[in-house]
């Protein structure tokens, strides 16, 4: 069966020159993939006309015109209420109508969250969706949620994150029983707080493969397959990590740029530095899932390039293929049932 995905073509820092080209690449990789590019029809057509590969897949993509674009810094509530014909809104509407199975956008996170939640609604038992992303580790990658959609999450909400994340990791990464860690701190008198302790009890009592507390450095050690945390902490960890990585890149460049000798060494070391850069390329892990919605919505980094946006489309493809929405719905229903009894 064909897998159909809508692309918010105008979303992100670069828009159509990235999203459409990445889409054509995805069509060449996944033979059962069908795409709907949503945005200004003339601009999308112009990009397709420039793309020699596009001609091969004309039976597997279409264009849906949208007259507006959500700006990267636009207020989510304005985007939701005033821009009914934005490429983002129309791309999500296509999921709601069942025209496509998933939507991918590199647009404004807050707007994507607000519009997805309004249009698609959340799964019964889930109040707000959570954002799950892949993170590089010393031995591959791990997953983490929530990365910023929910603050002050209660133990019951953190348990739902674990349930949803576990299913997504199980089926997209083919791990029978993903190990789950709860983010905590260890450097003090009484570890964590009441909220964390209660969440840990709930996780222990569940059927999930919960292995206990993890600390910030465990994310990158790859201690577990899934790190569960509140969105405030998740977002702080993610941004701080990006900050450290940039700073280290800055100092590495500085050391190689110091004088004529170090510049020559930089030339010699180019292949090694390229290999190093490739091993940490954040684009490899692009494509965060908005879990908890009644439809698949994948958020790409705003600044994604073609290869990186391709990864986000691939994430959507994997989730559709794994039918994760139905699986999350039935698992959450089971949990709700168990709580009642």
Q: Element (H or E) spanning 35, and its range? A: strand 33-39
> Segment 181-240, which members bind a copy of itself (CB under 8 A)?
183, 185-189, 192-193, 195, 215-221, 229, 231-233, 235-240
Backbone angles phi, psi at 215, to 5 degrees: -110, 170
Q: Which position among 6, 109, 300, 308 is part of the footprint of a copy of itself (CB under 8 A)? A: 109
Contacts of 183 (CB under 8 A, 6+ apart): 213, 214, 215, 216, 219, 227, 228, 229, 233, 234, 237
- CB-based contact 175:260 (threshold 8 Å): no
Nearer to a copy of itself, 1 or 272 (CB): 272
Nearer to a copy of itself, 4 or 134 (CB): 134
- CB-based contact 207:179 (threshold 8 Å): no
Q: Does 113 bind a copy of itself (CB under 8 A)?
A: yes
- CB-based contact 149:238 (threshold 8 Å): no
x/- letters, 114..143, toward a copy of itself (CB under 8 A): x----------------x----xxx-----
Q: Which position among 2, 29, 205, 245 is part of the footprint of a copy of itself (CB under 8 A)? A: 245
Gap between the Cα atoms of 38 and 184, Å rounded: 41
Gap between the Cα atoms of 151 and 162, Å rounded: 16
Least distance CB 19 / a copy of itself (angstroms):
20
Nearer to a copy of itself, 135 or 322 (CB): 135
Among the listed residues 142, 149, 134, 165, the one whose alpha carbon sits nearest the alpha carbon of residue 314: 134
Q: Where are the alpha helices (DSSP H) in the chain?
A: 16-29, 41-50, 76-82, 87-97, 109-120, 155-173, 194-205, 216-221, 231-256, 260-280, 306-321, 324-340
Can you tell me which residue has the tokens 């919605």? 293
Q: Does 72 bind a copy of itself (CB under 8 A)?
A: no
Nearer to a copy of itself, 224 or 322 (CB): 224
Interface with a copy of itself: number of residues (CB under 8 A): 68
Q: Which position among 177, 255, 330, 339 is part of the footprint of a copy of itself (CB under 8 A)? A: 255
> Segment 271-310, which members bind a copy of itself (CB under 8 A)?
271-273, 275-276, 279-280
> Segment 145-174, which members bind a copy of itself (CB under 8 A)?
147-149, 151-152
Among the listed residues 75, 93, 5, the one whose alpha carbon sits nearest the alpha carbon of residue 298: 5
Q: Which position among 269, 333, 334, 336 is part of the footprint of a copy of itself (CB under 8 A)? A: 269
Footprint of a copy of itself (CB under 8 A):
76-77, 109-110, 113-114, 131, 136-138, 147-149, 151-152, 183, 185-189, 192-193, 195, 215-221, 229, 231-233, 235-248, 250-252, 254-256, 258, 262, 265-266, 268-269, 271-273, 275-276, 279-280
């Amino acid at each position: 069966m064909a897998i159909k995905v809508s692309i918010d073509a105008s979303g992100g820092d670069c828009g159509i020159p990235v999203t459409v080209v990445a889409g054509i690449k995805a069509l060449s990789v996944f033979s059962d993939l069908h795409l709907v590019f949503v945005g200004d029809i003339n601009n999308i057509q112009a990009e397709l006309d420039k793309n020699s590969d596009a001609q091969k897949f004309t039976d597997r993509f279409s264009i849906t015109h949208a007259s507006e674009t959500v700006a990267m810094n636009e207020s989510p509530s304005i985007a939701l209420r005033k821009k009914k014909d934005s490429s983002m809104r129309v791309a999500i509407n296509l999921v709601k109508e069942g025209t496509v199975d998933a939507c991918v956008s590199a647009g404004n996170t807050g707007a994507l969250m607000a519009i997805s939640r309004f249009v698609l609604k959340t799964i019964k038992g889930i109040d707000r969706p959570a954002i799950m992303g892949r993170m590089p580790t010393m031995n591959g990658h791990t997953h983490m949620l929530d990365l910023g959609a929910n603050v002050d999450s209660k133990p019951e909400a953190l348990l739902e994150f674990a349930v949803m994340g576990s299913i997504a990791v199980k089926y997209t990464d083919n791990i029978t029983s993903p190990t789950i860690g709860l983010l905590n701190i260890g450097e003090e008198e009484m570890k964590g707080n009441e909220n964390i302790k209660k969440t840990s009890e709930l996780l222990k009592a569940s059927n999930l493969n919960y292995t206990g507390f993890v600390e910030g450095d465990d994310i990158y050690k790859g201690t577990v397959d899934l790190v569960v945390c509140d969105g405030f902490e998740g977002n702080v960890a993610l941004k701080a990590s990006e900050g450290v990585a940039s700073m280290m890149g800055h100092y590495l460049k500085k050391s190689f740029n110091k004088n004529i000798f170090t510049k020559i060494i930089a030339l010699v070391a180019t292949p090694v530095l390229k290999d190093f850069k490739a091993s940490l390329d954040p684009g490899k892990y692009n494509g965060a899932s908005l879990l908890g919605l009644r439809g698949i919505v994948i958020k790409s980094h705003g600044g994604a390039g073609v290869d990186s946006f391709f990864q986000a489309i691939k994430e959507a493809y994997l989730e559709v293929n794994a039918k994760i929405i139905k699986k999350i719905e039935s698992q959450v229903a089971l949990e709700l049932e168990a709580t009642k009894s």
